[in-house]
Amino acid sequence: MTSTLTGPSTPASWNITTMNPAEAPWHLLLLADPSRERIKRYLPHSTCFAARQTAQFTPSGLGALIGVCVLTPEGDGQHKWELINMAVSTAWQRNGIGSALLHRAIRDMRQRGVRQLEVGTGSFGDQLLFYQRIGFRVTDIERDFFLQNYTTPLWERGVQHKDMLKLTLDL
């Protein structure tokens, strides 16, 4: 997928590609999950997609990384996967990149025959609305998830994250 958008300074084109999990950008991964230890556990067994700003030169010629989407299989990986990390560079948010990443991931999961995609969020604001616009439905609440799984309290808009909302999309 290649799109044209107006970014933080000048118009630029971007595209979505698959990515080797070992090359996933830490600066983006940490935007969505501040625990390096958790990321190190799930990243090797994941499928990753990258959004790249193709108009900006990089030594690899692939373009600067501006977004990432990470999915992991649940159980045997045949029926259910989890969207475990997704982030877009702050300067590039609200330009359709997150939606494009998620739609690409959904298309890939459908082609694999996956039946459900799940995501967990502590957010009650923009992220929750983002996933609901795509079609995800709240299916569960994991009480005290953030208190039990993170050593440092996580805050958003002055409220500490305690419980994780689980959302599911039937594919």
CA–CA gap between residue 170 and residue 115 (Å, rounded): 6
Who contacts 128 (Cβ-Cβ below 8 Å, separation ≥6)?
A: 121, 165, 167
* Mean pLDDT over each residue of the chain, to the nearest integer: 85
Give the tens place of pLDDT for each residue, 67-123: 999 999 998 878 999 999 999 999 888 889 999 999 999 999 999 999 999 999 886
3 — pLDDT class (breaks 50, 70, 90): very low
Split into its structural domains, the chain has a count of 1
- The conformation of residue 53, written as its DSSP 8-state character, comes to E
Q: What is the mean pLDDT of residues 140-157?
A: 83
Supply the pTM of this predicted model.
0.81
- 171: nearest Cα among 78, 88, 84: 78
Of 1 and 120, the structure prediction assigns the larger pLDDT to 120
Asked if 138 and 114 count as a contact pair (C-beta separation under 8 A), the reply is: no
58 — pLDDT class (breaks 50, 70, 90): low
Who contacts 19 (Cβ-Cβ below 8 Å, separation ≥6)?
A: 48, 49, 50, 68
pLDDT of residue 126 exceeding 70, the answer is yes
- The conformation of residue 43, written as its DSSP 8-state character, comes to G
Helix (H, G, I), strand (E, B) or coil at 75: coil
Amino acid at 58: T
CATH of the domain at 93: 3.40.630.30
Amino acid at 127: Q
Domain, as residue range, for 109: 2-170
Q: What is the pLDDT of residue 10?
A: 36
pLDDT of residue 38 exceeding 50, the answer is yes
Q: What is the pLDDT of residue 116?
A: 96
Asked if 81 and 71 count as a contact pair (C-beta separation under 8 A), the reply is: yes
Of 60 and 21, the structure prediction assigns the larger pLDDT to 21
CA distances from 118 to 11, 84, 94, 128 (A): 34, 8, 22, 13
- Burial label, 30 (beta-carbon count in 10 A; 0-12, 13-18, 19+): middle
5 — pLDDT class (breaks 50, 70, 90): very low
